[in-house]
């Protein structure tokens, strides 16, 4: 059995030798008006898509503003919670400074208490230092 290795030539085939019969369709395209840009309908679609995108962006920015406000509220609530529990936390640190089984914990708690007490005294003003300064500076009697 012999296989056919040659490909048939389409130019010799009568079925493929068509003459252009579509000359009328090319004349129709020449007679149509030339259009530049988008048509009115396409412009309306584009306008609506831009309006939808703008609305979506506005809603997204509004939701971010609400998220920012809620984040500020969370911070405020957290600070209020810390302020309400400050006395208990300070009492716990004082208890640890005297009752902890670990020497390092007792030392760190005691150092923290002393540091905070000194910082508070400096912020409030040390009454003994102020008294000594007032005694050291001679005041002249008012005439």
pLDDT, tens only, 83-106: 999 899 999 999 999 999 999 999
Q: What is the pLDDT of residue 98?
A: 92
Give per-residue pLDDT as tens, 50-80: 889 888 888 888 777 676 777 778 888 888 9
Reported as a pLDDT band with limits 50, 70 and 90, residue 24 is: low
Q: What is the DSSP letter of 15?
A: T
Q: What is the pLDDT of residue 42?
A: 84
Say if residue 93 is exposed, middle or buried (CB neighbours under 10 Å; 0-12, 13-18, 19+): middle
Q: 38: which residues sit within 8 A by CB, 6+ positions away?
A: 46
Q: Where are the domains of the chain?
A: 40-84, 86-127
């Amino acid at each position: 059995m012999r296989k056919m290795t040659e490909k048939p030539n389409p130019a010799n085939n009568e079925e493929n030798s068509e003459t252009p019969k579509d000359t009328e369709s090319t004349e129709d395209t020449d007679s149509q008006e030339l259009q530049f840009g988008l048509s009115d309908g396409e412009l309306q679609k584009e306008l609506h898509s831009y309006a939808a995108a703008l609305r979506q962006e506005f809603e997204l920015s509004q939701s971010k503003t609400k998220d920012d406000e809620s984040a500020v509220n969370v911070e405020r609530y957290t600070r209020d919670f810390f302020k309400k529990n400050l006395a208990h936390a300070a009492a716990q640190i004082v208890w640890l400074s005297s009752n902890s089984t670990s020497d390092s914990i007792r030392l760190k708690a005691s150092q923290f208490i002393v540091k905070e007490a000194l910082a508070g005294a400096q912020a409030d003003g040390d009454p003994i230092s102020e008294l000594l300064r007032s005694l050291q500076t001679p005041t002249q009697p008012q005439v």
